Amino acid sequence: MQLTQQIRIFPTLEQEEVLWVLSEKCRLIYNFALAERRNAYKNGVKGVTYRKQQNDLPTIKEQYPEYKWVYSKVLQYVLKTLNADYKSFFALRKNGYQDAQLPKFKGTQYFTTMVYNQSGFKVEKRKVAVSHFYNDIPLEFVVPEKFSFIEDTCIKQVSIFSKDERYFVAITYEVEDPSYIDNGRYQAIDLGITNIVTAVNTTGKFLVVKNKRPDKYWHPRIIKLQARRDKCIKCSNRWKHFDRIVKHYQKKCADQTKDFQHKLSKKLVENTKAHTIIVGDLKVKSMAHSTKVPKHMRKGLNRATQNTGSLGRFVHFLTYKAKRVGKSTIEFDERNTSKECYVCGKLHDMPIWKRIMNCECGNVITRDKNSCVVLMKRYLSQNAKWTGYQEFLDNLRYTAKGKTRVPSPKFGYGLEDSQEAPSFRVG
């Protein structure tokens, strides 16, 4: 698997100038290529593709020699980025997101990420260097000691980017993963907003983790500041002052959410004996725009789905962290998992605010728990590799009756049923 390490770099003033000159050239190429595509679309011309634009690069360099300053593969990558931007735009439109926007022209303040793919870079002990042909100032950056591990791994790509007036280098390298073996133990996870994780394993044991909501702490503060900011004259010093704090708070909120997701996914993957983790195939977007939710609740839910950081990202974290330790994450069809009673299979009308399922068959269970049990049932019944389906159901009945079960050291999560996730600091 490929991993990427982001390292902050501290270019000297001369180096910074070189970086900006190169970035500017990349930015212009991006904008020209975008203009070409837009014009072609307007005039009904076909065939303006990535391949065509890449083949045009040598001609452009002949006419305007300053484009030779940039390493050739970096320029090609800029065109690839544009192509990818277009592709994602079309994909979004195709999936029904009508408010998807065309790629935009980049303004003068925009620092274009420079990607050195396969060649043009050199990573040595505590040093990263990339090539350019602008002047004789080398683009060499010192890397802190703790990153020296990357020297003996296979490095695929080096890219330089800037964020909030700070510079970073991202190094992508290849690592070998242990191979995945199905050990007959499974864990099904239902993801949600209130309880980010509701899991059940094949021994019928549940794990519920409440979601941390840093946005609940930060959001009122941000709103207050935004109100004060908007009373000032736009772009005045006072406005800028408030704007800076608003951005700082927003970043803090986003970072804390991400941090929580990283830590939780790591714990989940490491604390289970199961080698296979089953998660529902998410459609977070449809959750946010669901019109079936009553109006007064819709606002809160929309905000929640957007602010808790996408659950899709959480699945991504789970997937790659599992892969790193030889486990596997499977996305499985979760249609109607929260509507179907897991005992008798009857479909109930379960709008999103209804938290408890009350079935005529006597089954009373929270929505999330029911959902993950159904998910597990479905997976086990469709994958005949393992015969533990009945065993799972027996275990489940056993725990559902409320009998105390002697915890066996062979199974379990390391976390008790009702115990919350290890506390992560908010604020």
The smaller minimum CB distance to Zn ion, of residues 238 and 355, is found at 355
224 is written with which tokens? 């207050």
The DSSP-derived string for 241-299 is: HHHHHHHHHHHHHHHHHHHHHHHHHHHHHHT---SEEEEE---HHHHHT-TTS-HHHHH
Compute CA distances 365 → 19, 339, 370, 374, 393, whole Å: 59, 12, 6, 12, 15
Q: Are 143 and 127 in contact (CB under 8 A)?
A: yes
Q: Which of 343, 392, 338, 415 minimizes the C-alpha distance to 186?
A: 392
The smaller minimum CB distance to Zn ion, of residues 100 and 343, is found at 343
CB of 364 to Zn ion, least distance (A): 10
Query: What's the rounded Cα separation, in Å, for the pair 83 and 51?
Result: 10
> Residue 81's CB: how many other CB atoms inside 10 A?
18
Query: Among 3, 60, 284, 359, which residue interacts with Zn ion (rule: CB under 5 A)?
Result: 359
Task: Check residue 154 for interaction with Zn ion (CB under 5 A).
Answer: no
CB of 202 to Zn ion, least distance (A): 22
CB of 361 to Zn ion, least distance (A): 3
The smaller minimum CB distance to Zn ion, of residues 52 and 346, is found at 346
Stretch that binds Zn ion, among 36-44, 198-206, 344-352, 369-377 (CB under 5 A): 344-352
Task: Check residue 356 for interaction with Zn ion (CB under 5 A).
Answer: no
CB of 339 to Zn ion, least distance (A): 11
Stretch that binds Zn ion, among 72-80, 298-306, 333-341, 376-384 (CB under 5 A): 333-341
138 is written with which tokens? 């080398």
The smaller minimum CB distance to Zn ion, of residues 136 and 349, is found at 349
The smaller minimum CB distance to Zn ion, of residues 142 and 361, is found at 361
The smaller minimum CB distance to Zn ion, of residues 19 and 200, is found at 200
> Residue 88's CB: how many other CB atoms inside 10 A?
12
The smaller minimum CB distance to Zn ion, of residues 121 and 342, is found at 342
Query: Among 238, 361, 398, 407, which residue interacts with Zn ion (rule: CB under 5 A)?
Result: 361
Stretch that binds Zn ion, among 7-15, 249-257, 284-292, 346-354 (CB under 5 A): 346-354
Q: Which of 75, 78, 54, 80 minimizes the C-alpha distance to 133?
A: 75
CB of 360 to Zn ion, least distance (A): 6
Task: Check residue 363 for interaction with Zn ion (CB under 5 A).
Answer: yes
Query: Among 193, 232, 343, 393, which residue interacts with Zn ion (rule: CB under 5 A)?
Result: 343
Task: Check residue 374 for interaction with Zn ion (CB under 5 A).
Answer: no
Query: Among 128, 341, 415, 421, which residue interacts with Zn ion (rule: CB under 5 A)?
Result: 341
The smaller minimum CB distance to Zn ion, of residues 125 and 346, is found at 346
Q: Which of 179, 412, 207, 182 minimizes the C-alpha distance to 276?
A: 182
Q: Binding residues for Zn ion, how many (CB under 5 A)?
A: 7
Find all residues with CB under 8 Å of 237, minimum gap 6, and list them: none
Dmax (CA) for the chain in angstroms is 81
CB of 200 to Zn ion, least distance (A): 17
404 is written with which tokens? 């105390």
Task: Check residue 344 for interaction with Zn ion (CB under 5 A).
Answer: yes
Q: Which of 171, 174, 177 minimizes the C-alpha distance to 147?
A: 171
End-to-end Cα separation, the chain, in angstroms: 35
Query: What's the rounded Cα separation, in Å, for the pair 126 and 139?
Result: 14
Binding site for Zn ion (CB under 5 A): 341, 343-344, 346, 359, 361, 363
